[in-house]
């Protein structure tokens, strides 16, 4: 993804690795050079979980790099968001998003998955790790919300931020979904008026309100004993994530990486972030 005007692959496309010789979903075949970059034994499988207002599209810079190196990836949008915004309904809860990701993993018969989550996406990722740990190899949480059993996402958001989102949803659509922000917050790392700022803002879709309000049910400890890495963005820090950082740093078993980038580093610092997820 070079700029906002570049052609983008479909957000629901399920991409087979270049080492297999072609890309699924109707895209052009991988070049011989790409296919030779990674032997089958080196091929990794990634599944991505996006954050608030986003869709699978937000991982394009990372997945472009993975594809070029012969890895497989799946970057779904949650029900009611991104390319699936037409499915928005009052029945969407946090379990819907968890099941969206589990559905991809099961339908594609994936194993040894590296699950990569961003921001709010940490909540469904925790649910996936709790329910199907046998399918996962590692979980990477990029500046993610982290919850304990029985907590809804809004329970650890700053109260004023949670109240603001509820009020915006009530005013916009009777509480169905939190509308897209009129401006991007500076902690996301985009300068207003730049191509990236405009590209991200126009791609955002309303976020189902109940997914913030329904509790996350965990049957096992947070992370479910899986290998896991928390990438904490600190240039600048996003205050919405502060309580989650404290939770992670206070628990055993977490590899914490301090990352010199903003909250949307999968877009602004795709090269360095891709290196991290390939190293786990």
52 is catalytic: no
DSSP H stretches of helix in the chain:
32-36, 60-68, 94-107, 122-131, 159-173, 195-203, 210-213, 242-249, 265-268, 270-279
- Using omega within 30 degrees of 0 as the cis cutoff, is the peptide bond preceding 236 cis? yes
The active-site residue out of 119, 232, 244, 265 is 119
d(CA 98, CA 74): 15
Compute the residue count for the chain.
280
Q: Three-class SS of residue 17? A: coil
68: tokens are 């070029």
d(CA 125, CA 59): 16
| Residues with a known catalytic role | 119
């Amino acid at each position: 993804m070079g700029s906002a005007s570049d052609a983008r692959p479909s957000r629901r496309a399920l991409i087979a690795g270049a080492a297999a010789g072609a890309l699924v979903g109707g895209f052009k075949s991988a070049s011989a050079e790409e296919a030779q970059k990674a032997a089958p034994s080196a091929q990794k499988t990634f599944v991505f979980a996006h954050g608030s207002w986003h869709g699978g599209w937000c991982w394009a810079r990372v997945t472009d790099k993975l594809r070029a190196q012969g890895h497989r990836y799946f970057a779904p949008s949650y029900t009611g968001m991104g390319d699936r915004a037409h499915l928005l309904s009052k029945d969407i809860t946090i379990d819907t998003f968890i099941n969206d990701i589990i559905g991809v993993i099961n339908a594609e018969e994936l194993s040894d998955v590296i699950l990569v989550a961003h921001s709010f996406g940490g909540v469904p990722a925790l649910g996936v790790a709790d329910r199907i740990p046998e399918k996962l190899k590692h979980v990477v949480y990029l500046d993610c919300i982290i919850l304990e059993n029985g907590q809804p996402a809004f329970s650890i958001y700053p109260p004023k931020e949670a109240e603001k989102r509820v009020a915006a949803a009530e005013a916009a659509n009777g509480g169905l979904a939190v509308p897209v922000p009129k401006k991007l917050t500076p902690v996301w790392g985009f300068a207003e008026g730049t191509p990236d700022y405009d590209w991200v803002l126009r791609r955002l879709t309303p976020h189902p309100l109940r997914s913030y309000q329904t509790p996350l049910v965990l049957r096992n400890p947070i992370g479910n004993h899986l290998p896991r890495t928390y990438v904490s963005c600190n240039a600048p820090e996003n205050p919405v994530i502060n309580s989650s950082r404290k939770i992670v740093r206070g628990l055993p078993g977490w590899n914490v990486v301090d990352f010199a980038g903003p909250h949307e580093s999968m877009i602004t610092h795709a090269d360095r972030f891709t290196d991290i997820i390939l190293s786990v």
